[in-house]
């Protein structure tokens, strides 16, 4: 990725760059929340955790879908609050079900490779957009 | 509505990058003058540390045209 421009205008805009850390973090969080929600939904649909490991089967040994009413799947999403990205659970029973059959990494654990690649792409795009104003 | 997972985006490493870019632009202006055009190549390094997503932009190249 690259930026280009006339040195006179670049010198002028350099003064605005100091606001970049906060603005970029908020934009990255906002765009990452949308992207990670898509990944969350796909993970849930596949019945796996964020690393691709299959969920624990039900008591009868069969694959579990967690799709009885659809409320659990519909209510899962990421939301950006400032520079933070938070996973929200839409229904009261989600904490128990998702606790047993996770769709996101454990808090503090290493991020899945596809998450890292996606977040890197978003970070570069946001930095380029902000630096390129 | 409850929540299970939180990730904080930390762009504090962007500030040193911005300072470098500013110094770079100033040097280019001094050497080549106001009429020069520059192209700065950059990438970003992502590090995740216990719920913190650290974003660190990196300069990968500079091309100056008069």
pLDDT in tens, B3-50: 578 999 998 888 888 788 878 888 888 888 877 888 878 788 888 887
Please give the backbone phi and psi of residue A84, each rounded to the nearest 5 degrees, phi first.
Answer: -100, 145
- Give the CA angle between residues A60, A62, A67 to the nearest 5°: 110
Residues 89-118 of A with CB under 8 A from B: 89-90, 92, 94-95, 98-99, 102, 104-105, 107-108, 110-111, 116
What's the Rg (C-alpha) of chain B?
17
Which pLDDT belongs to residue A4? Answer: 64
pLDDT digits (tens, 9 = 90+) for A89-99: 888 888 888 88
Predicted local distance difference test score (pLDDT) of residue A18: 66
Cβ distance of B1 and A89 shorter than 8 Å: yes
- Helical (H) or strand (E) element with A62: none
Asked if the ipTM is above 0.95, the reply is no
Is A61 in CB contact (< 8 Å) with chain B? Answer: no
Which range has highest mean pLDDT (A24-33, A117-126, B57-66)?
Answer: A24-33
pLDDT of residue B1: 47
Q: Decide if A78 contacts A85 (C-beta within 8 A).
A: yes
Rg, C-alpha atoms of chain A: 19
Ramachandran category for residue A56: left, alpha or beta (phi over 0 → left; psi -120 to 50 → alpha): beta
Task: Pick B44's closest partner by Cβ from A14, A20, A120.
Answer: A120
């Amino acid at each position: 990725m690259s930026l280009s421009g006339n040195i006179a205008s670049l010198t002028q805009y350099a003064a605005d760059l100091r606001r970049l850390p906060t603005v970029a973090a908020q934009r990255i969080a906002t765009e990452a929340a949308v992207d990670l929600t898509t990944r969350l939904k796909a993970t849930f649909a596949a019945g796996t955790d964020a690393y691709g490991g299959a969920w624990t089967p039900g008591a009868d040994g069969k694959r579990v879908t967690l799709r009885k009413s659809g409320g659990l799947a519909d209510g899962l999403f990421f939301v950006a609050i400032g520079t933070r990205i938070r996973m929200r659970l839409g229904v009261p029973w989600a904490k128990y079900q998702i606790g047993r059959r996770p769709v996101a990494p454990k808090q503090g654990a290493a991020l899945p490779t596809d998450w890292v690649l996606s977040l890197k792409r978003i970070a570069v795009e946001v930095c380029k957009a902000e630096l390129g104003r | 509505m409850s929540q299970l997972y939180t990730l904080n985006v930390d762009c504090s490493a962007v500030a040193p990058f911005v300072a470098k870019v500013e110094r770079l632009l100033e040097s280019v202006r001094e050497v080549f003058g106001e009429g020069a055009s520059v192209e700065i190549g950059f990438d970003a390094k992502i590090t995740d540390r216990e719920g913190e997503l650290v974003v660190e932009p990196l300069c990968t190249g500079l091309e100056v045209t008069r």
